[in-house]
Amino acid sequence: MILKAENLTFAYKGGNNVFEDVSLTVENGDVLAILGPNGAGKTTLLKSILGILPVKSGSVTLDNVDVRKIPEKELFKRISYVPQAKNTTASYSVLDTVLIGLAAELSVFKAPGEKEIARAKEVLDELNIGHLIDKRCNRISGGELQMVLIARALISDPEILILDEPESNLDFKNQLIVLDTLTRLSKRGIACIFNTHYPSHALQRANKAAILSNHHVLFGETEKTVTEERIEEAFGVKAVVDELEFEDKKIKSVIPIELINR
């Protein structure tokens, strides 16, 4: 599988370009982090890649086929979207929420049956949240809800997972749970594209990164992309990229030092 965005330019009706000439490529097992300050257009870029926002120019192809030419039902079986946990209406039970992820697969007249429920249980167990199955989504924590939404995306067995700030609004532990999940999924061959506010998360988890700044994107291997200079340019923050060694692990981290007046 290869997902390619080429020269994407997006503008809201009657407005200036949000971003121009964005190109990036994602293959099986890749984790791509999209970084950028608030309002830079990260979510807009994600939705453009997903094809739910129409771009002004450029194209997105999946295995060399324009995604606009792939029937939606087929496309969204291969690509799954995980919205921010706070943006979703949540009074369904966890099981019902996860089953909604099968909407692209089931015909209009069909509802999920025993087979689909078994599959939902499997996915929930895989993500270690099997115990939540009968809980209502508005009675669980933000971190748990984010995991439930990932389960909803995974039930259709997608090749690509697109996540909108999956770890923002989560506490320390839940951030780790979500990020570990992304790492695990990528090892299974699923490509993950996620927006993040944290350069450290990009360095620690993503093999590819895209930094949005001044309407343009810099895309490439994370280590070459998320550098001190780029962070300063995009965020206006002087930062140090450091590497910690813990047991046999090397962990990269970005430490903000001071604001740069520009």
Partner 1 sequence: MTSNITVKRRVFRAVILIITPIIISFLALAIGRIEIPVGDVFNILIGRTEGIANVSVMTVKIFRLPRIILALLVGAGLSVAGCAFQGLFANPLATPDTLGVASGASFGAALAILLGAGPVTIQVCSFLMGIAAVVLTVLCGRTGGRNMTMIILSGIMIGSLFSALISFVKFVADSESQLPAITYWLMGSLASTDSKSLLIGAPPILIGIIILFIIRWRMNLLPLTEDEIKSSGTNVLLLRGITVLSATMITASAVSMCGQVGWVGLLVPHMVRMRVGANFKDVVACSISVGAVFLVIVDTVARSLTAAEIPISILTAIIGAPFFIYLMRRRGGFVG
What residues line the site for partner 1 (CB under 8 A)? Answer: 47, 50, 52, 72-77, 79-81, 83, 87-89, 91-93, 95-96, 100-101, 103-104, 106, 108-112, 117, 121, 133-134, 136, 138
Q: Which residues touch 176 (CB under 8 Å, ≥6 apart)?
A: none
Q: How many CA atoms lie within 13 A of 94 on its CB side?
A: 24
- Provide, rounded to whole angstroms, the least separation between the CB of residue 62 and partner 1: 14
Element (H, E) at 58: strand 57-62
Is the Cβ of residue 87 or residue 214 nearer to partner 1 in the bound state? Answer: 87
How many angstroms separate the CA atoms of 248 and 61, rounded?
40
What is the dihedral sign for C-alpha 179, 182, 184, 187? negative
- Provide, rounded to whole angstroms, the least separation between the CB of residue 89 and partner 1: 4
Is the Cβ of residue 40 or residue 79 nearer to partner 1 in the bound state? Answer: 79
How many angstroms separate the CA atoms of 208 and 86, rounded?
27
Is the Cβ of residue 160 or residue 178 nearer to partner 1 in the bound state? Answer: 160
Q: Which amino acid, residue 166?
A: P
- Provide, rounded to whole angstroms, the least separation between the CB of residue 138 and partner 1: 8
Is the Cβ of residue 99 or residue 234 nearer to partner 1 in the bound state? Answer: 99
Phi, psi angles (nearest 5°) of residue 40: -75, -15
Q: In what order do the strands lie in the sheet with 2-11?
A: 17-27, 2-11, 57-62, 65-66
How many angstroms separate the CA atoms of 34 and 46, rounded?
9
- Provide, rounded to whole angstroms, the least separation between the CB of residue 115 and partner 1: 13
What is the dihedral sign for C-alpha 223, 228, 232, 235? positive
- Provide, rounded to whole angstroms, the least separation between the CB of residue 17 and partner 1: 20
Is the Cβ of residue 43 or residue 253 nearer to partner 1 in the bound state? Answer: 43
Say how many residues make up the chain: 262
- Provide, rounded to whole angstroms, the least separation between the CB of residue 163 and partner 1: 12
How many angstroms separate the CA atoms of 164 and 47, rounded?
9
- Provide, rounded to whole angstroms, the least separation between the CB of residue 118 and partner 1: 10
